[in-house]
Amino acid sequence: MTDPFATLGVPARFTFAPGDLEQRHRDLSRALHPDRHVHSPPGERRMALERAVSVNDAFRALRDPLSRAQALLALHGLSVQEGDRAPAALLMEVMELREDLDAARAKPARIAALRETVAARVAAEESVVARAFDREGAPDARDLAQARDAVVKLRYFRRFQEEADAMEE
């Protein structure tokens, strides 16, 4: 995928003011809408359509904090793959959370409490990513390593949240 930040014309950072990404997406979508290019030559219509698809893909990537963090890492040549090993402490923590979730199957209040616990952990890891990418200047190797570790943790916590969502349904 191309650089979603460049595609949307926004700075490569983790934190955005509420509504900034949505507004930029709307503005670009409006400008690239096929109805605006109906009288253009076929090549220009095709390019506008391809650009509109790129804008939509970039918006999907950046509106989600996890994929936004992964996009930031990718800009620095780093990635988090499905098979990457997580620290043993994280694996143990998530295993215990899942056991608690399984035990709380018929207890909505307990599920809500577990979700709050994980939401706090997500916020803490997102702040690590924000510290690495929201300041002036490029992140150093230590910042990038911490951000990458945070993204690994965020992926595990996201899976837990999805399991909790499925259980509530």
Query: Which residue, of 46, 63, 80, is where some domain finishes?
Result: 63
Residues with Cβ < 8 Å from 12, sequence gap 6 or more? 3, 5, 72, 75, 133
Helix (H/G/I), strand (E/B), else coil: 60: helix
Interval 79-124: pLDDT, tens: 988 777 889 999 999 999 999 999 998 888 999 999 999 999 999 9
pTM exceeds 0.75: yes
Give the mean pLDDT of 33-55. 81
pLDDT tens for each residue of 48-57: 788 889 999 9
The CATH number of the domain where 157 resides is what? 1.20.1280
Q: Token digits for 128? A: 């690590």
- Per-residue model confidence as pLDDT tens digits over 59-75: 999 999 999 999 999 99
Domain check: are 161 and 108 in the same one?
A: yes
Which range marks the domain in which residue 22 is found? 4-63
